[in-house]
Amino acid sequence: MLTIDQQTARRFILGKQGLWPGRRWKGAAGTEKAMRAMEYLQLDPLQIIARSQDIKLHARVLDYTPGLWEKPTYKQRKFFDWGGWLAVRPMDELPYWRVVMRREREQGHAKTAKEHAAAIQEMREVLRERGTVSNRDFQMASRTRTNSYRGRKDSAVALYYLWRTGEVMTHHRSNFERVYALTETVAPKELIREASEAETDRFLVRKEISHNGLTWLKRTAEAYYRGVPFNRIGALREKLLADLEIIEVQVEGWKQPQCALASDAKLLKELAAGRTPAAWKPLGATTEQEVSFLAPLEPVSARGRAKVLFDFDYVWEVYKPEHQRKYGYYTLPVMWGERLVARFDSKLDRTTNTFVILGFWLEDKKLAKNEAFAEALAAGFENFVRFLGAAKLNVKAVKEPMLRRRLAQIAP
């Protein structure tokens, strides 16, 4: 069993996700590479300053612009979006996901199929006639009202059922709303098939490990919705260990041994020796020279992982009532080097096109007078303001005098 310290584990997980030691991809081609390295690009409709998926890619890709992920997904058909845990996945993985779709149809959607059989058949016929369809194409007055959280119209429930079970796919998105089309008009013919059950189980476990970098494959709601077969996870883990496809890794200070892909053993040993992999060399500034802002749904920090990796308490408070929020509605962690050192809440005032910092909080108060951090923070905010397309930056809420003065010098 390979043993590593926590710094090596942190660097490995960040590096696997493309977040350390700096942006190593650029533009449209780099966006595709980043999406593949991430394994999943989770999607979220909220657009307070920018959508979570765009903030994620901004932290990984030089010259990234909001919505650029849609080009390889919906125009080039190299990816597709799907799932109760909504995420973009590589199109060449479709045969495995079609097994998961069929499992969902058989296990979790039988009631919908029975209750909305007529609407489901109607939507099939409408899609054959029109080619593409969105939920907004059907007026409430002409539909049967439903109580489903997937939509108030039977047409919405039917389209969602067809999408979840693989008969239709997302053709493109309009203001983030799905526009559906029959699967055979979206995916390459050779990929509209099912892999074997055994191949699919092994694929799902390997992908889950790759997505996390290090994991013991503990059951979580997110992993369940990613299709991980937890009813067979013990046997699958042992089989993959025996076949040398994965390895066990002990992180000093962590109770439970972790799993990593066997193909990542070289990376782990290189990092443990204090070396940075050549393939991870940044194209621009390092994370020491320019801070990164982590998206709310960032896999390295969301859902309690920030505490494990960074000893940083982070909860996305967007769904909390205002009086229960400790920091703010859309607070983002600030990463300097490989550590989370601060957080800020903000908004984009679209009437004046001003990016407004609503609150800024340091983990270590000494950073308030650290000039290197001030420069890295200014570089991060300058890049972020440019990414948002804001004309002005309001830093009045930053209480630390030196940091506020340095940020005030930013000219978008």
Give the domain ranges of the chain: 92-191, 292-408
Distance, in Å, from the CA atom of 17 to the CA atom of 60, rounded to the nearest integer, reads 8
Model pLDDT for residues 86-139, shown as the tens digit of each residue: 999 999 999 999 999 999 999 888 889 999 999 999 999 999 999 999 998 987
Rounded to 5 degrees, what are φ and ψ at 296?
A: -60, -35
Distances (CA, A) of 122 to 69, 127, 128, 146, 275: 32, 9, 10, 16, 59
Q: What is the pLDDT of residue 108?
A: 80
Q: Residue 173: which pLDDT band, with cuts at 50, 70 and 90? A: very high
Q: Kindly report the length of the chain.
A: 412
pLDDT of residue 146: 79
Please, which pLDDT band fits residue 216 given cuts at 50, 70 and 90? very high
Average pLDDT over residues 211-216: 97
Joined together, the tokens standing for residue 38 give 């991430």
> What would the pLDDT profile of 22-63 be if each residue is shown by its tens digit?
999 999 999 999 999 999 999 999 999 999 999 999 999 999
> What pLDDT is stored for residue 271 in this prediction?
98
| 52 Cβ contact partners less than 8 Å away, ≥ 6 residues apart | 42, 43, 44, 46, 295, 296, 297, 298
- Tokens 């801070």 label which residue? 291
DSSP string computed for 325-353: -SS-TT-EEEEETTEEEEEEEEEEETTTT
Q: What angle do CA 206, 210, 214 make, to 5 degrees?
A: 105
DSSP 125-145: HHHHHHSEEEGGGS-GGGS-E
Query: Which residues partner with 153 through β-bridges?
Result: 145
* Token representation of residue 84: 């109760």
pLDDT tens for each residue of 253-303: 999 999 999 999 999 999 999 999 999 999 999 999 999 999 999 999 999
Sheet holding 168-174, edge to edge: 132-134, 177-182, 168-174
Q: What is the pLDDT of residue 225?
A: 87
φ/ψ (deg, to 5) at 55: -65, -40
Which tokens hold the place of 50? 């920018």
